[in-house]
Amino acid sequence: MLQRLNKLLILLLVIATFLTSSAEELNISSKASVQMAAITDSSGSLSQADKAKTGKKRRSDSVSWVKLQQRYPGAYFLHGPRHKKEVALTFDDAPDPRFTPKILDILAKHHVQATFFLVGTRADKHPEIVKRIHREGHIIGNHSYNHEVMSKLSPNDFHRQVWRTDTIISRIIPYHPHFFRPPYGEMQPSQVAWAKNNGYIVVNWDVDSADWKNNPSSTVILRNMHKTLRSGSIILQHAGGGVSQSLSGTIEALPQLISSLQQKGYRIVTLPELLEQSAERPIR
């Protein structure tokens, strides 16, 4: 009798655990649906920057960035040399006429150069901003054609994402970007190997401003950046956003960030300076 009661109790516990787990999964799924609906435009599709906004958090099945850096030295970077008190400012998802010109104005005022990673569709739509970025001495990098998750693409689709953007940029300015940053930072080892074999250097980051997350204030953005900042850091910010996204916090934080870095003795440099690499990809 006692054994039967124990078995019954175990069975009830298993059922309760299953029901709780199912409810949690349903709740997570519902929250995700609400978030996606909130940033979907009237046509029912996500803008590229909105995809970025929802995807910067790394997936649990991601390949370790540290392992990729160890496996592909000189072709995959999270940061520059730690012995030099230098940092690089990088801006993703440009060009965006709402935000990129304001960021360029601030950089010009403070005589600072940065690196901008361009989305191909946006560069094609706003060539005048691409020309301004280049004209004012900033470095241009490749950020894919339409902000897909590179690690989920077939080899041919991945190649097209890179080549199409390279073609668009080189048509606007006489420039073939050397640096490639995958959307969300996600790439498979085979994709890094392909990039290396085709003359690209993959650059992610070690300091995330998290300016893509819930339209944060400048105070939050500055706090996020200073958490992991150190010599050789590559700082991630954004110069483009989705329909519902505001980068006012980024724009407000940028002058304060520049002043703070300079007061602490950091030299703000471009990626070619930090990594001691050429700005343009060698054409083979």
Q: How many CB atoms lie within 10 A of CB 208?
A: 19
Which carries the bigger pLDDT value, residue 136 or residue 27? 136
Give the C-alpha separation, 137 to 130, whole Å. 11
pLDDT of residue 3: 53
d(CA 97, CA 91): 14
SS3 for 146? coil
Active-site residue flag, 166: no
What is the tens place of the pLDDT at every residue in 123-152? 999 999 999 999 999 999 999 999 999 999
Distance CA 57, CA 127 (A): 30
Average pLDDT score over the chain: 85
How far apart, in whole angstroms, are the C-alpha atoms of residue 255 and residue 270?
17
Work out the percent of the chain whose per-residue pLDDT is above 70: 78
Tokens of 221: 């953005």
Q: Which pair of tokens denotes residue 34?
A: 């609400």
Q: Which sign, positive or negative, has the C-alpha torsion 192, 194, 197, 200?
A: negative
pLDDT band of residue 90 (cuts 50, 70, 90) is very high
Q: Which of 126, 138, 178, 238 is catalytic?
A: 238
Catalytic residue among 50, 92, 124, 206, which? 92
Residue that is written with structure tokens 């175990």 in the block: 10
pLDDT bucket at 18, cuts 50 / 70 / 90:
very low
Answer for the pair 174, 201: CB distance below 8 angstroms, yes or no.
Answer: no
Instruction: Find out whether 146 and 120 touch, Cβ atoms under 8 Å.
Output: yes
Beta strands, E only, the chain? 76-77, 86-94, 115-118, 139-142, 179-180, 201-203, 207-208, 234-238, 267-269
Confidence of residue 282 (pLDDT cuts 50, 70, 90): confident
Whether 92 is catalytic: yes
Residue boundaries of the structural domains of the chain: 1-38, 48-275
What's the confidence (pLDDT) of residue 228?
A: 97
Compute the residue count for the chain: 284
Residues 49, 59: Cα–Cα separation, whole Å: 18
pLDDT(262) > 50:
yes
Q: What is the 3-state secondary structure (H, E, C) of 130-141?
A: HHHHHHCCCEEE
Specify the CATH architecture of the domain 48-275.
Answer: Alpha-Beta Barrel (3.20)
Give 213-218's long-range contacts (Cβ < 8 A, gap of 24+): 213/53, 213/56, 215/245, 215/246, 215/248, 215/249, 216/249, 217/249, 217/252, 218/249, 218/250, 218/252, 218/253, 218/256
- How far CA 245 is from CA of 28, 39, 85, 142, 170, in Å, comes to 23, 9, 33, 22, 29
